Chains A and B, each alone.
Chain A
Amino acid sequence: MNWGGWQAFWAMGGYGGYVWTAYGTVAAVVIIEALAVRARLARARRGAAHRRRRG
């Protein structure tokens, strides 16, 4: 598919606002959830190690 330049690509035939808001939200949700589950696992690991040291 030839867009004939990046400007046309970002414009999405006049629907750029809808298309990029949709894609942007999906990207943001995926990145935030991925970071959140990793943080939760790290926290659980710290909790497990901490309990070991105390007890």
Chain B
Amino acid sequence: MHATSPSPTGFRLFRYAAPAEFYRLAGRVVPLVALLAAALGVAGLYVGFFVAPTDAQQGEAYRIMFIHVPAAWMGMFIYVVMAFWAALGLVFNTRMSAIMASALAPTGALMSFLALWTGALWGRPAWGTYWDWDARMTSTLILLFLYMGFMALHSAIDDTRRADRAAGVLAIVGVVNVPIIYFSVQWWNSLHQGSSISLGKAPTIAAPMLAAMLIMALAFWAYCIAAALTRARAIVLERERSSEWVRTLFGAAS
């Protein structure tokens, strides 16, 4: 059956861990972040195409950066968040943790696919090749496989609790790949260019280029939150179908 509900005197923090509370709260948050994603997307595209100047070395092809870099960031970031929820789920056995991990995986997989795809389309004009088995590209491909492995393993096990645990372990083990991706351009001699921005150093690109990239990164961020939360709400209903709060919520409507 289901895990015990938090006691009335329990931590307030865990109040939001309750699926019923999450379902309601996320339902209010999603329209706002979706709207934010659309607004930031329009603003980022405007700055990216109409304010940012032509790149001296790469001409107009560099404009792929405004979607490539945010997608690559989200691919890595979502993986870390997914592994965090998976770890929380394994340790505390909270119902929402595993749901969050499962909800994040497809969006993270799509983001890492887009990073690879847009990277190939940028690599061809910039380096003369769509693909090279260098450290950054290979480790990003492994990231995509880790997401796919997580989803495949989860769907291969019928018992949801066991599926959560097995896929959760895979997610946690795979997290070592994320720093490898991030530092790959420093650790190995790579075809991939170094970071345009990094902590503690001045950016190496023009201000409007940087602005467009950061606005697009925020847009991607907001989009991923909206997509993952909507998927999490669906998973909550799928899993809690027979619980009292779902019956009350949907019984009142019929």
Contact = CB atoms under 8 A, between A and B. Distances in A.
Interface string B218-254: 0000010011001101110110011000110111011
Interface in A3-49: 3, 9, 12-15, 18-19, 21-23, 25-26, 29-30, 33-34, 37-38, 40-41, 43-45, 47-49
A3 B230 CA distance: 39
B125 A15 contact: yes
A53 B107 CA distance: 33
Nearest to B239: A44
Given A12-B63, A47-B241, A29 B110 contact: yes
A52 B247 contact: yes
Contacts of B29: none
Interface stretch (B13-21, B51-59, B159-167): B51-59
Interface of A: 1, 3, 9, 12-15, 18-19, 21-23, 25-26, 29-30, 33-34, 37-38, 40-41, 43-45, 47-49, 51-53
Most chain A CB within a 10 A radius of its CB, from B106, B121, B233: B121
B61 A18 contact: yes
Most chain B CB within a 10 A radius of its CB, from A22, A23, A45, A49: A22
Nearest to B54: A13
Given A22-B122, A30-B223, 15 more contacts: A1-B52, A13-B60, A19-B121, A22-B64, A26-B71, A41-B237, A44-B234, A44-B237, A45-B237, A47-B238, A47-B241, A48-B250, A52-B250, A52-B251, A53-B254
10 contacts: A1-B50, A18-B124, A22-B118, A25-B117, A26-B67, A44-B238, A45-B250, A47-B237, A47-B241, A51-B242
B74 to A, nearest CB: 11
A7 B249 CA distance: 54
A23 B250 contact: no
A1 B122 contact: no
Given A52-B247, A53-B254, A22 B68 contact: yes
A43 B234 contact: yes
B117 A22 contact: yes
B235 to A, nearest CB: 8
Nearest to B219: A30
B71 to A, nearest CB: 7
B164 to A, nearest CB: 18
B105 interface: no
Contacts of A41: 230-231, 233-234, 237
